[in-house]
Amino acid sequence: MSSTAITPAPVPLGRRIKRFMADRPLIPLIILLVILVVILQLLRPGIVNERWIANTIKFAIPLAILAGCQTMTMLTGGIDLSVGTVATMSAFIMATQVVNQDPAVAFLLAMMPAVLIGLVNGIGVGVFRVHPLIMTLGTSLIGTGCLQVYQRTVIASGAKIPDFLAWLGTGVTWGFPNALLLYVPLAGLIVFTLARTGFGRLLYAVGDNERATRLSGVRYWQVITALYITSSVLAGITGLLYIGLIKAPSLSLAEPLVLPSVAAAVIGGTSIFGGRGGYTGTIVGALILTVLTTLLTILQMPEGARRILFGLIVLFVTAAYLRIVEDK
């Protein structure tokens, strides 16, 4: 792209745009996000205001954190389908334990199943080489079952949402959702980890060529176990944030977020085959999905039609994005 004035081989505009997009995969995503917001504004003039933006961000954050779990596991060629269950478990345990316990104790109790499920996932995938899809689906079912048993034991004591979580989940300070206080450092940490730490390097390398990492002295199980524990802990934190936002503990609280979290990571440009992608794209992906949901909601379509449209748009966007970004 330098100023090669001597040989003015006219690169067609289309190709140049393509090249540009391929170098900066974030640009087309942001353009898509802006287009969606503009459409929304055109359909309902005046809807896009400060309150709407704060609301959108509030709902996008839990999705974005879970999509972070998917991004990291997908970089190694895996996936973590247990995030929904883990988030639900931590939220439910928090809400029921905080009734009788100190909040700090309740927090520790809430994070315990997250760590445990992450550990089991990690050992299953890293040591016993169970496919991540099956492994995390299995632990997810087991977790749901345990939660149902647990629910019987606390039915009498009831549940409440700690004020702090409600403040974090729904509060807005000077126009900014309080959840950003948690999310901005967290997102920064994920981006930094992936780009600038040895662990992040290994995630990419393991997903790209596991044999090569082995020959370089990497112990696969260590990386994978650490990864799935991290993913689960993030999911647990998401659960706490989400219960503050939704304020109604249930046994399927975060379950509806699981597949959108995978979609957000894929739309954000992370390859499910591993070795390729990043978290910044995922963040925009999560925002796109959230705006899209709003858009479909105000169209006042029947639920079925809305879902069909949602699925079609996700497919179309992913396919189009890959075509744009992949510089073949």
Partner 1 sequence: MTANPLLDASGVAKNYGAVAALRDASLSVLPGEVHALMGANGAGKSTLVKILTGAISANAGRILIRGEARDIRSPAAARRAGLLPVYQEPSLIPDLDVLSNLRLTGTPVEPFRAWVRELGIPDLDLRETARDIPLAVLRVLDLARALAVEPDVLLLDEMTAALPANLAEKVLDVVRRQGDAGRAVIFISHRFVEISALCDRATVLRDGATVGVVDIKPGVEEKIVELMLGTRVVKTHVAARTAAQKAAPAPARPRIAVRNLRVGTKLNDVSFDLADGEVAGVVALEGQGQDELFAALAGSIKPSGGTIEVDGQPAKFSHPIDAIRAGIAYVPGDRSEALAMQRSVRENIALPFSAALRNWGPIPMRRERATVLSAIQRLQIDTRAQGEVQRLSGGNQQKVTIARWIAADARTILCFDPTRGIDVGTKQEIYLLLRELAGHGKSVLFYTSELEEVQRVCDRVIVIFGGRLVDIFPVEEADEPALMRAAYGLPRGARADVGILADPSANPSDSTSANASDTPEAAP
Footprint of partner 1 on this chain (CB under 8 A)? 192, 196-199, 201-202, 204-205, 208-209, 211-219, 222, 226, 275-276
Alpha carbons 280 and 67: distance in angstroms, whole number: 11
Residue number, 107 or 321, with CB nearest to partner 1: 321
| C-alpha atoms less than 13 angstroms from C-alpha of 179 in its C-beta half-sphere | 27
Give CA separation, 25 vs 17, 164, 205, 222, 325, in Å: 11, 38, 20, 31, 6
CB of residue 101 to partner 1, shortest distance in Å = 34
CA dist., res. 75 & res. 96, Å (int): 35
Instruction: Locate 129 and state its tokens.
Output: 């080489």
CB of 68 to partner 1, least distance (A): 18
Of the two residues 157 and 197, which places its CB atom closer to partner 1 in the complex? Answer: 197
Q: How far is CA 15 from the centre of its chain?
A: 32
Nearer to partner 1, 258 or 266 (CB): 266
Q: What is the nearest approach in angstroms of partner 1 to the Cβ of residue 269?
A: 13
* Pairwise CA distance, residues 71 & 265, whole Å: 5
d(CA 102, CA 249): 19
List beta partners, residue 177.
172
Nearer to partner 1, 35 or 127 (CB): 127
Q: Report the residue number, 176 or 199, with the smaller CB distance to partner 1.
A: 199
DSSP class of residue 15 equals H
Q: Which is nearer to partner 1, 210 or 255 (CB)?
A: 210
Amino acid at 299: L
Q: What are phi and psi of 176, to 5 degrees?
A: -105, 130
- Of 88 and 231, which CB lies nearer to partner 1 in the complex structure? 231
Cα(309)–Cα(292) distance, rounded to whole angstroms? 10
Residue pair 74/305 in contact (Cβ under 8 Å)? The answer is no
Min CB(208)–partner 1 separation in Å: 4
Q: Taking the complex as a whole, how short is the minimal distance between the CB of residue 215 and partner 1, in angstroms? A: 5
